[in-house]
Amino acid sequence: MSQSDQFSGRIGLIFASIGAAIGTGNIWRFPRMVGANGGGTFLIPWLIFLFAWSIPLVIAEFALGKRSRTGTIGTFRIFAGKKFAWMGLWTAWISTAIGFYYAIVAGWCMNYFRLGFTGGLTDVDTAEVWNGFLQSGTQVIFFQFLVIAITMLAIWKGAKAIEKVNVIMMISLFCLLFLALGLSLWMDLQDGSLDGFLFMFTVDPAKLSDPEIWINGLSQSAWSCSAGMGMAITYAVYMRKDEDTVLNAFTMGLANNSISIIAGLTVLSAIFAVEADPIATVSQGSSAITFLALPSVFAQAPGGAVGAWFMMWVFFLALTFAALTSMISTVELCVRNFVDHGYERNRAVAITSVMIFILGLPSAVLWIKFDADGIAFPQFLEVQDHIWGYGLMFSGLFIAFSIWKYGYMRWRSLVESGEGEPGFSGYLRQGVSAFRDDFINTGDNDMWVGRWWDVVMYIFFPVLFTVLMGSYFFDMAANVHDPWNPANPHGITIILLFWVIVATLFLAVNKYLIARPLYRNLPEGADCDISTLPGGDDELIVEVGEAAPGWEHLTSGDILEAEAI
């Protein structure tokens, strides 16, 4: 690629960002969390953490990507310095590793849309349908392949293609969910109680003293908005030069939570309308709710067979679109890093897609086991989620570290030049706000960000990170049998072992990462000076279409061909 790539405008960026944020977790995990944590009571901590975790991190990501104009590896190489490029590789790897099995999950959704549309979920034993599908490796792999093929086509042509696909899918998803919500509320109204609706929005103040509800609210907010996962960094690379970062971050976060509420109300209203013990039903595992309970519930939708058929395919098509847009952002995150390092986009897309397909095959077919109720579950896939899911939290920590480091370095340079105020009080006044002043409140933002953002990133975030990770491991230590046994797929040791191996490997290859040219995707006329940043003096960091010193015979897009010779 010899020229920069960018979205056509704000609408494209917003829809792509919303598509990255909205995934299956909004539609199937969120209702379960609401059901298991006191209904409307859960919404309070969940909404608080939207503003105390998710949106501040997304603002940071947009600011980082807009200035660096590279993917995650390049962003950490520029903002944290050469020694920390591996942090960007960690972020890229974790997201891609999740993509290995997320393609399987998206395939489940697509298959259930097919079944719903063709009448394959009507008057059936839903457990038998689920067990038969999960045990059929050929079917699971076929839908995995289909998901990856669609994703590959969506990102093949770059930013504008990603923009168009996300606009179509997100508008469709909103419309489909509103249709499903209308039918669910109709179901809930049939007994005259609207108990599902009331449960969703009834707050019990006494339950707010339960720490578990707050921790669960934090975890839902942390995962469902894609904050700190590198997705926003990646899409910020395609921002127009005068694009606002703050308003876009708020729009993305609020849209994400709005979809969660619509989906939660849809699921809860339907379940409360027909189930004798709705809390027990909605508190099951996410896949149990989605693929076992909901088809049985939707079969009782108003309008007889036509209403049930309509409800089935509408809901599962919306779920499929949510899964696909998240899959697109996951794959694009990896592709962007390849392109930054000189690979042609079409080859980068092909390499990433093949890798995700092959490395996802074990999650599709291995360790399909049965629980005590005779319901099949993919243990290998669950182990992968167990290992890599919480690994994403470190990506957010690395982003915060880059902000902290920049603030300290900026303050030190001011002190050394005689313009800064020495001492800790000087650091608080000039260093803490440095990133916000230099990269967020740039004049392009419609919303001015105040010191509250500094408080979140310097105080709240590290405290919340510690609480989230500590509670996760404490829960495993207290409730998992033999948690320190490395052979236990649900234990602590297996997580720590994989994390240490991957981190050690990435630290070892860091020197090879920074030995390659890095090509920045700069829109024409954009002011993206990096000279004051820790990696800003790296002569191997150049613009797309330029040649790096020592690599004069090559420009971006030619390196792969040269290495193949």
**Run means of pLDDT, 10 residues per run, the chain, 565 residues:** 75 92 90 91 96 95 96 97 96 95 97 95 92 96 98 94 95 95 91 87 94 94 86 94 90 94 94 88 76 91 91 96 96 96 94 97 94 91 91 93 95 91 92 95 86 96 94 93 91 95 97 94 84 91 86 62 43
Cβ atoms within 10 Å, residue 505: 14
Distance of alpha carbon 202 from the chain centroid: 29
Q: Is 95 left (phi over 0), alpha (psi -120 to 50) or beta?
A: alpha
| pLDDT of the residue at 351 | 96
Determine the straight-line distance between the first and last CA of the chain, rounded to whole angstroms: 19
From residue 220, give the alpha-carbon distance in Å to each of 109, 342, 528, 543.
20, 37, 34, 38
The position carrying tokens 């975790």 is 53
| pLDDT of the residue at 433 | 95
Q: Which runs of E-coded beta strand occur in 295-424?
A: 368-370, 376-378
CA angle 482, 486, 487 (to 5 degrees): 85
| pLDDT of the residue at 267 | 93
| pLDDT of the residue at 526 | 77
367-384 burial string, b = 16+ CB within 10 Å, else e?
A: ebeeeeeebbbbbbbbbb
Task: Name, in order, each residue with C-beta under 8 angstroms of 317's C-beta and a sequence gap of 6 or more.
Answer: 113, 117, 172, 176
DSSP class of 433 = T
Q: Could you give the CA distance from residue 209 to residue 214 in angstroms, rounded to a whole number?
A: 9
529-559 burial string, b = 16+ CB within 10 Å, else e?
A: ebeebbbeebebbbebebebeebeebbbbbb
| pLDDT of the residue at 280 | 84
Q: Could you give the CA distance from residue 28 to residue 260 in angstroms, rounded to a whole number?
A: 9
Q: Could you give the CA distance from residue 295 to residue 293 in angstroms, rounded to a whole number?
A: 6
Task: Name, in order, each residue with C-beta under 8 angstroms of 519's C-beta and a sequence gap of 6 or more.
Answer: 70, 339, 340, 341, 342, 542, 543, 544, 545, 546, 555, 556
**Which pair of structure tokens corresponds to residue 318?**
């919306």
Cβ atoms within 10 Å, residue 206: 9
Q: CB–CB of 12/167 below 8 Å?
A: yes
| pLDDT of the residue at 560 | 46
Q: Could you give the CA distance from residue 214 to residue 207 in angstroms, rounded to a whole number?
A: 10
Strands 518-520 and 541-543: parallel
Phi, psi of 302 (to 5 degrees): -65, 150
pTM for the full model? 0.93
- Domains detected in the chain: 10-365+381-545 (1.20.1740)
Distance of alpha carbon 188 from the chain centroid: 32
Q: Could you give the CA distance from residue 147 to residue 156 in angstroms, rounded to a whole number?
A: 14
